[in-house]
Amino acid sequence: MVLVPTMGALHDGHAALVRRARKLAGKRGNVVVSIFVNPIQFGPKEDYSKYPRSPSQDLEICGACGADLVFRPSAEQMYHESRSVFVDESSLSQRLCGASRPGHFRGVCTVVAKLFLILRPDVAVFGEKDWQQLAIIRRMVRDLDFPIRIVGHPTIRERDGLAISSRNKYLTPEERAVAPDIYAALRKAAAGGRVMDILNAGRRMIEKISGARIDYLELVDAETIQPAKDFRRPMRLAVAVFLGKARLIDNILVPPRPQNL
Ligand code: AMP
């Protein structure tokens, strides 16, 4: 069985994951999509209650993309009111979104571990859009011996390059018009020669975007999510940007260099 965990408000990015799951499962296997807006991964000042929800459209998308089952528990079904056990990753989750959103990855790991135990998939598909999340889930599966294969799927983008996200709905038309400049900046910066210049170039370009405020821009080792030191290993240039009411994240591969530059 192949599982695609989501928080609903499904869009073309999620749809690509479900179609990928369908291929991985084959004709005989089952594809399960979980839809659960997980309260414990939101901070007290974050958008849990306002997070977009579109239940009937979600079911249509799941059906059209070949899902066999949609698992949509309530918060009360998932969490006992006196819950006291959580899954905490203690290294990869220290930086990037983990630093900006304390407790976020504890919430993510806990809910994903619970989904794995409830649904017992053989394979689970996650998007590269949330690169740090994908790396943390891989680490959790390795360290806790979950017998599950984790498959990463490339980021699905709008035609203008903006990574598709449920939170793009928060953008005004003006903000939406400049939002693709974030990915354009990542691409240009990542193509730079000397690794130290990549961050400076990226920061300069993103700061020029009207209304944008950088939460973080970091070049990290793609597997360990520590600041990149060995440039012969794959790296990820990862960014979070506040734009109006939205906090947008994106990341891009920075290929390994033949030597440390
Ligand atoms: P979410 O519903 O935002 O928690 O996302 C559920 C899954 O869909 C996660 O594995 C995300 O990384 C993935 N995902 C969200 N947006 C995209 C996208 N634009 N491209 C690929 N995967 C995505």
- Encode 9-43: b = buried (16+ Cβ within 10 Å), e = exposed: bbbebbbbbbbbbbebbeeebbbbbbbbbbebbbe
Indicate if the pLDDT at residue 79 is higher than 90. Answer: yes
254 in Cβ contact with 190 (< 8 Å): yes
Indicate if the pLDDT at residue 4 is higher than 80. Answer: yes
| Confidence at 14, pLDDT banded by 50, 70, 90 | very high
Secondary structure letter of residue 196 according to DSSP: H
Provide mean pLDDT across the span 35-43: 98
What pLDDT, on a 0 to 100 scale, did the predictor assign at position 3?
Answer: 99
| Closest-CA residue to 93 (of 135, 125, 124) | 135
| Residues sharing a CB contact under 8 Å with residue 107, sequence separation 6 or more, in sequence order | 38, 39, 40, 41, 42, 86
Provide mean pLDDT across the span 224-240: 94
Distance in Å, CA 194 to ligand 1 centroid: 31
Q: Is 164 in the pocket of ligand 1 (CB under 6 A)?
A: yes
Over the stretch 131-172, which tens digit does the pLDDT of each residue have? 999 999 999 999 999 999 999 999 999 999 999 999 999 999
3-class DSSP assignment, residue 66: coil
Indicate if the pLDDT at residue 261 is higher than 70. Answer: no
Q: What are phi and psi of 197, to 5 degrees?
A: -75, -25
Q: How far is CA 56 from the centre of its chain?
A: 23
Residue with tokens 């709008």: 158
* Mean pLDDT, all residues of the chain: 96
Beta bridge partners of 212: 243
| Confidence at 190, pLDDT banded by 50, 70, 90 | very high
Over the stretch 97-107, which tens digit does the pLDDT of each residue have? 999 999 999 99
Residue spans of alpha helices (H) in the chain = 12-25, 55-64, 75-78, 96-100, 104-119, 131-143, 173-178, 180-190, 195-207
Secondary structure letter of residue 163 according to DSSP: B
Indicate if the pLDDT at residue 73 is higher than 90. Answer: yes
Beta bridge partners of 35: 6
Residue with tokens 């009111």: 81
Q: What is the pTM of this model?
A: 0.97
Distance in Å, CA 60 to ligand 1 centroid: 17
Q: Is 202 in the pocket of ligand 1 (CB under 6 A)?
A: no
Distance in Å, CA 162 to ligand 1 centroid: 13
What pLDDT, on a 0 to 100 scale, did the predictor assign at position 21?
Answer: 98
Q: Is 130 in the pocket of ligand 1 (CB under 6 A)?
A: yes
| Confidence at 257, pLDDT banded by 50, 70, 90 | confident
Provide mean pLDDT across the span 61-85: 98
Query: 229 versus 260: which is more confidently predicted?
Result: 229
Residue with tokens 């579109």: 54
Q: Is 186 in the pocket of ligand 1 (CB under 6 A)?
A: no
185: tokens are 């900046």
Indicate if the pLDDT at residue 94 is higher than 70. Answer: yes
